[in-house]
Structures are given as structure tokens and as C-alpha cells.
Structure 1
Amino acid sequence: MHIDAIYAWIVTIDPTTTSTDFTGQSEQNSADIDFYDALLNKAKRKKLPSPSMSSPSKRQRLEDSDPFVDCDATPRRPVTSAPDSILSNSAPSFDIPVRFTPEKNLRAALPSDAHDLYDALVTAEYCEAILPAALKDVPGLELPDTRPYMWQQADKTTDNRTNISIVDKNSRFQEIIERSNESSKLRRSEAAWNSHVHWHILSQLAETSSVRVEDITSARIVPRFRPCFTASDDFPDETGSSSTGSYSTNSNTSASRVNTAKSVHKMVDFALVLEPDQDLAAIIERLTKFPHDATVNQTAYFPLKNRPAPVFIETKTAAGNGETADVQLGIWIAAWHGSMRSLMKRGGMVERIITVPLIQVTEGRWTVMFAVDAGSEIQIAYRDFKIGSSDGPIGMYQLQAALLAITKWMEGAYKTWITRVVSRALAQPQVSQEKS
């Protein structure tokens, strides 16, 4: 029997078992054991409160390395968090549902902490002052369908070196546009889109001295922050319904069960992470020293362990399943909220979690939503909020303005908030990590 399967079985029957690495391999491996396999394969269905999705029948093993636990023959008990965690004294509750809520007046539906970012993104949405004035003087450059309000004011202090840089960036934009349109024509896969197009956009437009882009398709949620399953009766046969004005992740359809099974294995694609300054880095390093899966986010994936990541990006193709993308974002943001609540509880903070943007990309089209801490639930508030596209020059300059607004928010409001959260958490008496 695979050692990971043995470990998963031990944890299901012994909630006091810590996340010790029995294999002698990296600690990340044991932290990333996927306990969803054991829960999703139960003969008697279990319900996921956040997001509340029903589960599929037994899935097939995808790889030889994929641990298999036969839950019909294995005793099962809920997975609990490791004791004496510096970040939390008990496993966070995921009984708060995640609800996707369309809003006609999105700004009014958002807390005030998101208004400045929202306003900046609306400016990008309407293409206001997104085009550098230097582009007007480039011979042979065609920018179809431009309007006067799209152009920035000419800056008399701009030197020739700056103008050359602007022209060079426009050339790189043209290369991305060609790759994007080619990917659409060839019907490339999601992974191919990510490598051919999306990564280049993010690395060129979203990276600053303190913001970095990470491919997080290999990241997994640490066990104590994974959405919990609670025992329930078998789901009825009727299909789930959605209420007017909102979309909840509650659904009993067989398609949803399949989507949930896939979603817990394949998480979101990219994250924008904050590269902490020296002071913040020192605080986070002390906070995440113990246990081995301690993290300032919801995953122990090493690039995100000590670098706060408030912005997550889910990509899909035109043929992709929108519901699956929503489920993946819902699970990921629910786990992130769980991690933030754990940190805030540690520091004695009783307040709303900061509102964060979520980005969905469908081939070349980029849209944004907002994850709102609504107390009794996590609301994903949205409308058709396009912030750019990679199929033409106007869309690329839209994206440049939108991603600039998001990185400024990360370096400003978000950095201030997360610094306060981790500082308060570290200031509290630490639970001893000594093991007998």
C-alpha cells in the first residue's frame, strides 16, 4: 500500500495525528496529501458547506503516484488540525457558504475598503487615458477605433529613452496579441494558453519591485484550511436550483459532483503575491516557523508560504466549464478566508476581512469579481466587468491600466492590512511547539 494512503487512513481514524512527514521526504508532500479522495468517495454522500457542492461517485486513479484510499472499507473520522499550531488553536470552521451574487450596482454592494480599487478598475474598463501620448508619433502604428478620451496627456518632461521604452512595450503587446489570436484559432488548451499568453501578460504588466506573479497550479490547500464535509442524508434526485439575483454553489446535479471532484485536485492558475519588505518578512518568517505547514496564505506551497497572496487568477478556454471555474475559485477563496480568520483570531481581531479582487480569464477576455466578507457568508460579487483582453491593442492597454491599479492596491491598502494582521498575531503569546 502507498505510504501516503497509509498516512491518510491514520489521520481519518486518529484526529490527534499531526502532519508529521512519515516518509522522510519534503514536508510539503505530506501537507499536500489530498484528503478529498477519502471524503468524496464515500458511498453515503457528504455535503461541502463552503462551497456547498455534492460529490461524485468513486473517481479513477489518474496516476500511479495518486494515493488511493478505499473509503468503503476504511474507517473514517473527520480530519482535524494539528495541535499546538502557532496560527490557530483549533481548525477553522467552513460552515460559511460561498455565494456568487450578480450586482447591478456593484460599487454600492462593495464595502468601502474596495471603492478606490473599484473606481480605478472602472476607469480602465472605460479605457480612460490608457494610451501613452508617445504612440501618436510612431510611424505606421495603427490603433483602430480610438477615441480622444483614451489618450493620456502629453508629458513635456518625457525624454527620448522613455518614448523608446513605450514603443518597445507596444511591440511586445503586438507579439502577445498574435499569440492570443493564434491560440484561439488553434483551440489551444488551458495550459497552452497559460504558457503562450497569460504568463507573458502577467509578467510584463503585473510585476513590480514588490509584486510578483506565481504559477500556482501545483499548490494545494493545507488540510486544516480545506473546506470541511459534514455528514448528511443522501442527496435527493432533483436538480439544484438557483435563486434570482444570486448564484450559490449549492447544487445537487451529477455534473456539479463531477466538477467538484475535479476542482479539489486542480486549483487556480496564478496568484499575485506581495514581496514583503525586510520588516514584514521578518514578522512572517517568525509566524510561519512552526509547524511545517504554517503559512501566511492557505497553502504551504513554498513560493506562497511567506509571501502574502491576495489576488487569484483562474483561466479557462471558451470550451471550458464556467461552473467548474467558479467552484475552483470558491474553494480557493474559502480556504484563504479560513487562513485569514485563523490569523485574525490569533491576534484577537474581530473585524471584516479585507475585500479582494478575483480575476477570471476566458481565453483572451479578462474580468474581475470581488470576494466580500459578509459575515454569515462569503459573497463573490460580480457583474460583466471586463478589464481588458489580449485580442487587440486597446484591450492590452486596458489590461495594463487595470493590473497597475491592482498592484498599487496590493502595495498600499492590502500591505497595510496584512501587516497589521500578522503583527497582531505574532504579538500574542505563542503556543509551545515542543513535542514530547
Structure 2
Amino acid sequence: MANAQPDTPSPSKRARMSHHADDEIAFFDLDKTPVHPPQMSAAAGSSTRSASSFPTALASRPAFSAQPSSETSHSDAAPRSRSTSPTKRFHKTESLLGLAVPIQFIKKQTLVAAVPDDVRPLLEALSAVEAGEALLPAVLRSHPDFQNDPRIRRHTWSDDTQPASAAAAEYAAALHNHEQLRRIVGKSIASANKHRSEAGWNNLVHTPFLEHATLHMPHLEVEPITSAQIMPAFRPLLISGEQVPLPSSETSAAGSSVSGRSGLATPIRRGAAMTTWVHKMVDYALVLRPSDALQALIDRFLEGEPWEKQSINQTRYEPLRAQPAPVFIETRTTSGTQDSANVQLGIWVAAWHKRIRTVASQAGTEERLLTLPVVQVIGGVWSVLYVVDDGTHIRVLDDDCRIGNTNNILGIYQLQASIAALGRWVQDTFTPWVTDLLTRAVENRA
């Protein structure tokens, strides 16, 4: 989101503001070198000071002294070395290469030979969806919404060989689903035309769609996680050994104004706003709803963890604390930047890897972690990328696979089929993998 640009205060307002508020803003202006505030005399601090005393006050400052001391001139002449703060480093996707375990976003023409075997069935399923195979229910072939659309081909229709007794029920279910999807398409188009914010898209389009698409997947829950933060124990490290900085509590209101000590509105500091920009996390997680047996296993594992690591994920956000999250979704509007989306997603998956590596180490395994699908959404268009563990670094592979969109009726059927494919991957691949990992970790503690 763009940071609000505060109006420049008038000279009269500046005169009324305490020097503390001004110092705070200057200190966090990353484009300016901080300066020490001038020593104010009692007369200078008086509200009744005459205008004629102002030049005298200026002349008394060191910067205006006619005969600076040798000490002052030596310090002013010496060049200052300004180190780049960790926060300022994370503007671009390539900044992620500065992590101790670097993250590389890599474009590929095709991913068939690039991805590990553990994700190939999902890749094939999503490729079939992207090609438009068997997406539309045959019982709705005569529906007006599907007439005269050149994008709908013969292979787009599903097999219509159904028993006559099931035809009526199937038609009713298909029609109900279609009406829900058509309503979401309407909201998506309106959101694009009205230039809604990311929060508007999330509330009116993405959340209703995800809830509908996972309605018949009892093993999955949709969790909005924009407020979830990375636990300190799992914050990624920079090559220097420093932790990637996280926002402080006072940066949560970035983009608005706060009350200064003088009681006047004071603009949010630029450094604080930048930190929030970097560390606004991803928007959604598709969370596994564990079986009773798996939940008991997770609880046993967490009981043996120290307090600072008591979450099965990389965050202490309660909906994710004791339920694994195998799919993350990052959304942005068309006015957002690809770099900001990549940085947010990259930091988040780096923290997930750091957390799951600690589980794997307790399981006594050095094998690479499971390949993770992640989703990026730009406006109404959804794409999938694959996070591959290469040991010394993490690759995020992207072949521009569009898994659907909410802007037209065919696109939203594609998207519904893609979420179904992700749901099957969670059930068939992720759940057995995480169950085995936790079982070995718990057994090794005994």
C-alpha cells in the first residue's frame, strides 16, 4: 500500500511543535544524515521571543560560527561511513539473495524437468486445468452463460455420462455452484473497475471464493493471516548473521498519523513505514484440519518444544499455532509491485523452511524438505509457483502457470478446479509427509 504523504506544516505550526517530534522525524528520514538538535536557551524556548532575536539565535549555532574550532572542523570534514540498515536492504527480489539461506526467484519455460518428483502430480493436474480440460459441468451445456464464448472448446466440458436418476440432483448442484461463482465474478469485475484496495479485494472477492472453493474439503480451512508475524526464533538470518528486522508495535499504524508529544498530528516516520512494507506478511493460508490422531501427534511434539518454538508453523498466530499450513497465498492489486510481493512471500517461506528444518533435525533426517506450492494473486488473476529446497538455498520456480481468474466465468471454473487439485495434494502428499516427520521427531525424544 502506498504510504500517505503528510502535508508540509506551515512555519507557524513548526514553531509550535516541540523539538522532540522534529528530531524523531529527522532521525528516521533515511535520505538525510541525522543531526543533533541545537541547544535551546530559555529565551529561545519562550513563546514571547521577538522576531528580531531569531537571526541572533541562528548565528549562535555551530553551523553558522565564523570561527569554528579545530575540533568541529575536523569532525565536519571527515567523511562519514553510513551502513545500510537491514530494513533498507529489502526493496527488490534480488535482496533475498542476501539471506544466509538465499532465495532465488527463477523463471522457467517449463518446469517438468526442474521440479522434484514430490510435486509432479500436482504440476500435471494444474497444467491440465490451465489447458482447460474438463472444467465445465456437461449438465449446464445449454446455460446462457456458456453460449457464444469462443474460449469454450469441446474439451472444456466434462464427461456427461451420468445415470438418468442422478441428472436432476446433479443439475441442481451444478446450477447452485454456477450462481455462486457468477456472483464472485461480478464482485471481481466491480473491484477492478472501482480500483478497490487490496483489503477490498480480499474481503469481497478472494475470501468468498476460497470459502466456496473449499466447502467440500473437510481437511482444509481458509485462514486470513495478514496479521500473522514471524516468531523471533524462526526469523531468517542475513549473511552477516543479523536477523531480518520485523516491525515494532509502533509501526502498525504506518500510512496514517500519530499524535506527537506536542499534541499535534505528526507524520509516521519513514523508517517505520518501510519496515511495515517489508514485513507485511502473506494474506491467506490453506490450513490442514488434522485428524484426531495427527492432532494428538502435533500436541505431543509441541509439548516438548521450548516456549519460543511452540508453534508447528513459523508464527504464533493462534489459528496456525497447532495446525500445519501447506499452502500460502499472497494477494495484491494491479497497482502493487512484483518486487514487494516477492519479498513478502520470500521472507515468509524462508521462515517456514527454518521452522520445518528444526522439526526435520529432531526427526533425524538430512533429506530436503517437501516442495511447497505457493500462490500469487494480482487483481483477479491467480498463478502458482513452487518452493524447492536445495539445501544451501531455496528456489522459487515460476513458469507463468495461470491457474485461473475471477474475472470471467471460464476463468473462475479453472480456479475452482485448481483449488481442488491443491486440496488433493494436501491430502495425498503433504499430510503423509508431515505425519511421518512428526512421528520420527517424537520417537527420537523418547
With normalisation by structure 2, the TM-score equals: 0.69
Q: Does 1:291 align with 2:282?
A: no
SS at match of 1:106: coil
Q: Distance in 2 between matches of 1:43 and 1:206?
A: 51
Q: Secondary structure at the match of 1:108?
A: coil
Q: Is residue 2:218 matched to residue 1:212?
A: no
- Does the alignment pair 1:105 with 2:76? no
Q: State the partner residue of 2:327.
A: 311
More helix by share: 2
State the partner residue of 2:232: 223
Query: Are the equivalent residues in 2 in contact too, given 1:184–1:363 (CA < 8 A)?
Result: yes
TM-aligned CA distance change 1:156 to 1:345, over 3 Å: same
More displaced 10-residue stretch of structure 1: 339-348 or 289-298: 289-298
Q: How far apart are 1:300 and its partner, in Å?
A: 1.2
Partner in structure 2 of residue 194 of structure 1: 202
1:357 to 370, 373, 376: 373
For residues 69-125 of structure 1, the C-alpha deviation after alignment (integer angstroms, 9 at most, x for no partner) is xxxxxxxxxxxxxxxxxxxxxxxxx62100001111212110111110000000000
What runs of 5+ residues in structure 2 fail to find an aligned partner? Answer: 1-27, 29-33, 35-80, 92-98, 243-270
Percent of aligned positions that are identical: 35
Aligned partner of 2:437 among 410, 418, 421: 421
**2:339 corresponds to 1:334:** no
CA contact (8 A) 2:225 2:283 kept: yes
- Indicate conservation of the 8 Å contact 1:179/1:197, yes or no: yes
Cα deviations by residue, 1:281-317 (Å, 9 ceiling, x for unpaired): 0000111234344111111111011111011000000
Alpha-carbon separation, structure 2, partners of 1:231 and 1:406: 37
- Measured after TM superposition, the shift of residue 148 of structure 1 is 0.1
Distance in 2 between residues matched to 1:389 and 1:178, nearest whole Å? 12
For residues 31-110 of structure 1, what are the structure 2 equivalents within 5 Å? 44-46=83-85, 54=89, 95-110=100-115
Identify unmatched segments of 5+ residues in structure 1. Answer: 1-36, 57-93, 234-256, 431-436
Aligned partner of 2:396: which letter? I
Letter in 2 for 1:107: V
2:338 maps to 1:322: yes
1:375-433 deviations in Å (ceiling 9; x for gaps):
22100000211000001010011001111100000011110100011111111226xxx
Native 8 Å contact 2:184 2:406 kept in 1: yes
Query: Which amino acid in 1 is paired with 2:226?
Result: T
Aligned to 1:128: 133
SS at match of 2:430: helix
User: What is the CA distance between 1:229 and its match in structure 2?
Assistant: 3.7
Partners in 2 of 1:154 and 1:394 — Cα distance?
A: 18
1:165 equivalent in alignment to 2:173: yes
Contact residue 259 and residue 323 of structure 1 kept, 8 A: no
1:28-57 alpha-carbon deviations (Å, 9 max, x no partner): xxxxxxxxx9xxx99633559xxxx7158x
Residue 139 (structure 1) shift? 5.9
Counterpart position of 1:78 = none
Cα gap change, 1:270 to 1:116, in 2 (>3 Å): same
Output one character per residue of 1:253-301: Cα deviation in whole Å (capped at 9) or x when no partner: xxxx999733443100000011000110000011123434411111111
Equivalent residue, structure 2, for 1:180: 188
Corresponding letter in the other structure for 1:44:
S
Q: Is the 8 A contact 2:278 2:340 kept in 1?
A: no
Q: Secondary structure at the match of 1:288?
A: helix
Q: Secondary structure at the match of 1:358?
A: strand
Assess, with a 3 A threshold, how the Cα gap between structure 1 residues 292 and 160 changes in structure 2: closer, same or farther: farther
| Cα distance between partner residues in 1 of 2:416 and 2:90 | 40
For the pair shown, which has the larger CA radius of gyration, 1 or 2?
2
CA gap 1:376/1:140 in 2 versus in 1, 3 angstroms: closer
CA–CA distance in structure 2, aligned partners of residues 258 and 360 of structure 1:
26
- Is residue 47–residue 231 contact of structure 1 (8 Å, CA) maintained in 2? no
Taking a change above 3 Å as real, the CA distance of residues 193 and 327 of structure 1, as seen in their structure-2 partners, is same
CA distance in 2, matches of 1:264, 1:426: 36
Structure 2 CA distance for partners of 1:43 and 1:204, relative to 1, 3 Å: farther
Distance 1:139 1:358, change over 3 A: closer
| SS across alignment from 1:375 | coil
Do 2:222 and 2:287's aligned partners in 1 also have CA atoms closer than 8 Å? yes
Structure 1 residues 171-227: Cα deviation after superposition (integer angstroms, max 9, x where no partner): 111111110000000000001000000011111113411011100001111101011
Q: Aligned to 1:228, what secondary structure does the other structure show?
A: coil
Alpha-carbon separation, structure 2, partners of 1:217 and 1:389: 22
Matches of 1:113 and 1:260, distance apart in 2: 37
Counterpart residue type for residue 282 of structure 1: A
Residue 141 of structure 1 deviates from its aligned partner by 5.4
The TM-score normalised by the length of structure 1 is 0.71
TM-superposition CA deviations, 1:130-177 (whole Å, max 9, x none) = 011111144675472210010001032334122101101101111111
Distance 1:221 1:264, change over 3 A: farther
> Equivalent residue for 1:282?
296
1:328 Cα deviation (Å)?
0.4
How has the CA–CA distance of structure 1 residues 273 and 423 changed in structure 2, closer, same or farther, with 3 Å as cutoff?
same
Match of 1:407 among 423, 427, 443: 423
Change in Cα spacing, 1:304 to 1:356, as seen in structure 2 (3 Å) is: same
| One-letter code aligned to 2:400 | D
CA distance in 2, matches of 1:227, 1:401: 34
The code of the aligned residue for 1:113 comes to D
